[in-house]
Chain A
């Protein structure tokens, strides 16, 4: 519930930042589908947590170290909105200048996603495909194919 509110607010922030494509995805995936899937997972599990077999210090240490590393990584990020940041000076100006003429597509995001970064997108699609197949292999009811019509 809180996560879905957070996603909705995050998608509003993306709209403010002019990243409408990301806002679309965040609103539909974060606020919609992942909330439903989280509720579905909650319905599958029991209401009570099992008593952990190990101590809680090791997971806590892993989380703290990972979090500290991530925060340390943010110190190297360029300041927000800095036009001199490396990301704005490498290939982005070329894409912005030539993408509309070369691909005939006004939306540069789509042109970069599907044409310049076509391999990446193919990889992402394959990841989604693999995730779907994995979930179905793990949770799907393959063995109960006969009586499926009764309880479906």
Chain B
């Protein structure tokens, strides 16, 4: 893939915007269309573009496997942890109203954290599933 100069340059130009758009979709999901699932998938798609253009070796240095494994467990734990935290504060499981003095603020904080958990899990699972497929086919060729 070293000779496709146009692809490499265009991908390098586009990638920051794709990742930034993913973050926008993640954190603006409360006000516009979007949310954790969409943001995670867009982030993963952007990163897969990077892998396709620059190869597995570079991608491994950008996003090591350990971080991905940590990421997708961390996302689910964040989601479930918000529920446990609500129970510790005296509410029901995943009842965000108790998370702040004002129920509306509590809902806001809860939804924000939960969407963040969903986003982290979706992005890391998508990227690592792709990594696994790509590595496997590379291994078979060797």
* Complex-state Cα separation, A133 to B114, whole angstroms: 21
B30 touching A110 by the CB < 8 A rule? yes
Chain A residue contacts of B103, Cβ below 8 A: 102
The smallest beta-carbon distance between B22 and chain A, in angstroms, is: 9
Contacting residue for A109 out of B33, B121, B125, CB 8 A = B33
Chain B residue contacts of A135, Cβ below 8 A: 128-129, 132-133
Q: A24-B25, A115-B96 are in contact. Are A103 and B107 (CB under 8 A)?
A: yes
B111 touching A129 by the CB < 8 A rule? no
Interface string of A112-152 (1 = CB under 8 A from B): 01110011011011101101110110011100100000011
Specify the main secondary structure of chain A where it touches its partner: helix
Chain A contributes a number of interface residues (CB within 8 A of B) equal to 47
B38 touching A24 by the CB < 8 A rule? yes
Specify the main secondary structure of chain B where it touches its partner: helix
Q: A37-B133, A125-B118, A132-B72 are in contact. Are A32 and B111 (CB under 8 A)?
A: no
Contacting residue for A122 out of B80, B108, B126, CB 8 A = B80
B129 touching A132 by the CB < 8 A rule? yes
The smallest beta-carbon distance between A14 and chain B, in angstroms, is: 10
A residues at B contact (CB < 8 Å): 20-21, 24-25, 28-29, 32-33, 36-37, 40-41, 43-44, 101-107, 109-111, 113-115, 118-119, 121-122, 124-126, 128-129, 131-133, 135-136, 139-141, 144, 151-152
B residues at A contact (CB < 8 Å): 25, 29-38, 41-42, 44-45, 48, 52, 56-57, 60, 72-73, 75-76, 79-80, 83, 94, 96, 103-105, 107-108, 110-111, 114-115, 117-118, 121-122, 124-126, 128-130, 132-140, 142
